[in-house]
Amino acid sequence: MNKITVMIIDEQPFFRAGVCQMLSQQSEFKIFDYDTTQDTLELIEAQLPDVVLLGSDLATINGLELGRKISRYYPNSKVIMLSPNPNDVELFEIIRTAAVAYLGKNTSSEELIDTIMRVSRGEYPINESLMTQPQVAGHILKRFHDSFSKGEVIEDVMAPLTHRETQILTYIAEGNSNKQIAHILDISEQTIKNHVSSILRKLNANDRAHAAVLAIRHGLISAEEQ
């Protein structure tokens, strides 16, 4: 059974250490701690974790904006936002980031573990924050309606590909298998599979060949390079 890979991104070292220690006791998890010396998105791309535990109160970078970028560029890495002070206003903003769950930093270890397990199965616990709180749901819907009324920009349906994903997609279009691409790039075949899964999801493609055709059609890769 493959382990669920979890990355913890928070600027409070004691908080990260506590969460790491707690989750490390679970045999089904593989934990990646936050390397503060490395660019966060580069770190995500290098590890492609299944789940990202992200503090919403990051000081040097905006936690909500980072969550939005992770969800947009790495849709297979599910974001669970952790807030020191969960509230309705922040919930609205977090829903806009496409995070799959929203918990307080003082949540119990049992609830955090359960949420990670559910998210890894493809569930969206954040929906319960609305379904179980009608007043909050009404407030959120009004905020979205107001945003649309003001003509705020809505992101394109097709999420942009990362440099690595474009590179892999070019090799796919050249007819290379996942195993061959892994050998060329000197990374694991499982990592290639994870990237391909992300590519298919971003392009809404049925398979690798369909993804290559869509990429050429939309100018994401050049047909002349093939």
Question: Are 96 and 198 within one domain?
Answer: no
Question: Are 110 and 187 within one domain?
Answer: no
Q: How many domains does the chain have?
A: 2
Token output for 211: 């993804």
Out of 149, 175, 190, pick the residue that ends a domain.
Answer: 149
In a domain, residue 12? The reply is yes
In a domain, residue 95? The reply is yes
In a domain, residue 126? The reply is yes
Q: What is the pLDDT of residues 164-189, one digit of tens each?
A: 999 999 898 888 899 999 999 999 99
Whether this prediction's pTM lies above 0.85 is answered by no
Dihedral Cα 161, 165, 166, 172, nearest 10 deg? -130
Q: What is the pLDDT of residues 28-63, one digit of tens each?
A: 999 987 877 778 898 999 889 999 999 887 766 688
Q: What is the CATH number of the domain that holds 102?
A: 3.40.50.2300
Out of 149, 171, 187, pick the residue that ends a domain.
Answer: 149
List 5's β-bridge partners, or say none. 30
Q: What is the pLDDT of residues 137-162, one digit of tens each?
A: 666 656 655 655 555 544 444 568 88
Question: Are 46 and 126 within one domain?
Answer: yes
Strand order in the sheet with 4-9: 29-33, 4-9, 51-55, 78-83, 101-104
Question: Are 105 and 215 within one domain?
Answer: no
Question: Are 73 and 120 within one domain?
Answer: yes
Nearest to 23 by CA among 10, 42, 36: 10
Domain that holds residue 179: 163-225
Distance CA 79, CA 188 (A): 24
Token output for 140: 């959120």
